[in-house]
Amino acid sequence: MTENSSAAPTDGKGDRQAATLEFREATKRYDGQSEPAVDELSLEVPAGEICVLVGPSGCGKTTAMRLVNRMIDLTSGDILLDGRSVTERKPAELRREIGYAIQQIGLFPHLTIADNIATVPRLLGWDKQRISVRIDELLELVSLEPSETRDRYPGQLSGGQRQRVGVARALAVDPPLMLMDEPFGAIDPINRERLQNEFLRLQHDIRKTIVFVTHDIDEAIKMGDRIAILQKGGKLAQFATPAELLMYPNSKFVEDFVGADRALKRLALQRVRDIDLWKAATVRVGEPAAEARAKIADSDLPMALLVDDGGRPLGWLSDRALGGERVERQIRSPAEPAVELDDILRDALADLLTSETRYGPVVDGRGRVAGVLSLEVIGGFLHEAPVEARSGVELVEES
Please, what is the angle between helix 189-206 and helix 159-170, to 10°?
20
132 binds other proteins (CB under 8 A): no
Q: How far is the CB of 182 from other proteins (least distance, A)?
A: 12
Instruction: For other proteins, give the closer residue by CB, 122 or 130.
Output: 122
Q: How far is the CB of 84 from other proteins (least distance, A)?
A: 17
88 binds other proteins (CB under 8 A): no
Out of 23, 100, 199, 212, name the contact with other proteins by CB under 8 A: 100
Q: How far is the CB of 159 from other proteins (least distance, A)?
A: 13
Q: Do 268 and 94 contact (CB within 8 A), yes or no?
A: no
164 binds other proteins (CB under 8 A): no
What CA–CA distance (Å, rounded) separates 231 from 209?
23
CA distance to 211, 257, 259, per residue, from 216 (Å): 15, 10, 11
119 binds other proteins (CB under 8 A): yes
72 binds other proteins (CB under 8 A): no
| C-alpha closest to that of 95 among 73, 126, 128 | 73
The end-to-end CA distance of the chain, in Å, is: 48
Q: Do 75 and 28 contact (CB within 8 A), yes or no?
A: yes
Stretch that binds other proteins, among 90-98, 226-234, 241-249, 358-366 (CB under 8 A): 90-98
Out of 80, 131, 178, 179, name the contact with other proteins by CB under 8 A: 179
95 binds other proteins (CB under 8 A): yes
123 binds other proteins (CB under 8 A): yes
Q: How far is the CB of 93 from other proteins (least distance, A)?
A: 7
- Pairing relation of β-strands 235-240 and 281-283? unpaired
The alpha carbons of the chain give a radius of gyration, in whole angstroms, of: 26
73 binds other proteins (CB under 8 A): no
152 binds other proteins (CB under 8 A): yes
104 binds other proteins (CB under 8 A): yes
208 binds other proteins (CB under 8 A): no
H-helix segments, the chain: 3-7, 61-68, 91-96, 113-117, 119-123, 128-141, 146-149, 159-170, 189-206, 217-223, 242-247, 252-258, 262-267, 289-298, 345-354, 375-383, 387-392
Out of 105, 118, 258, 335, name the contact with other proteins by CB under 8 A: 105
Q: What is the b/e burial string over 171-187, where b = at least 16 CB atoms within 10 angstroms of the residue's CB?
A: bbbbbbbbbbbbbbbeb
Instruction: For other proteins, give the closer residue by CB, 179 or 206.
Output: 179
Q: Tally Cβ neighbours within 10 Å of residue 212.
A: 27
Out of 25, 35, 88, 93, name the contact with other proteins by CB under 8 A: 93
69 binds other proteins (CB under 8 A): yes
Phi, psi of 226 (to 5 degrees): -135, 150
Q: Do 62 and 111 contact (CB within 8 A), yes or no?
A: no
Q: How many helices, marked H, and strands, marked E, lie in the chain?
A: 17, 17
Q: How far is the CB of 96 from other proteins (least distance, A)?
A: 4
Stretch that binds other proteins, among 117-125, 225-233, 316-324, 355-363 (CB under 8 A): 117-125
Q: How far is the CB of 269 from other proteins (least distance, A)?
A: 31
| C-alpha closest to that of 196 among 182, 206, 209 | 182
Stretch that binds other proteins, among 119-127, 248-256, 264-272, 347-355 (CB under 8 A): 119-127
What CA–CA distance (Å, rounded) separates 258 from 269?
14
Instruction: For other proteins, give the closer residue by CB, 9 or 109.
Output: 109
109 binds other proteins (CB under 8 A): yes
- Pairing relation of β-strands 21-28 and 359-363? unpaired
Q: How many residues bind other proteins (CB under 8 A)?
A: 29
Check residue 110 and report its DSSP letter. Answer: T
Q: How far is the CB of 134 from other proteins (least distance, A)?
A: 15
226 binds other proteins (CB under 8 A): no
Q: Which residues contribute to the site for other proteins (CB under 8 A)?
A: 69, 71, 91-97, 100, 102, 104-111, 119-120, 123, 152-153, 155-156, 166, 169, 179
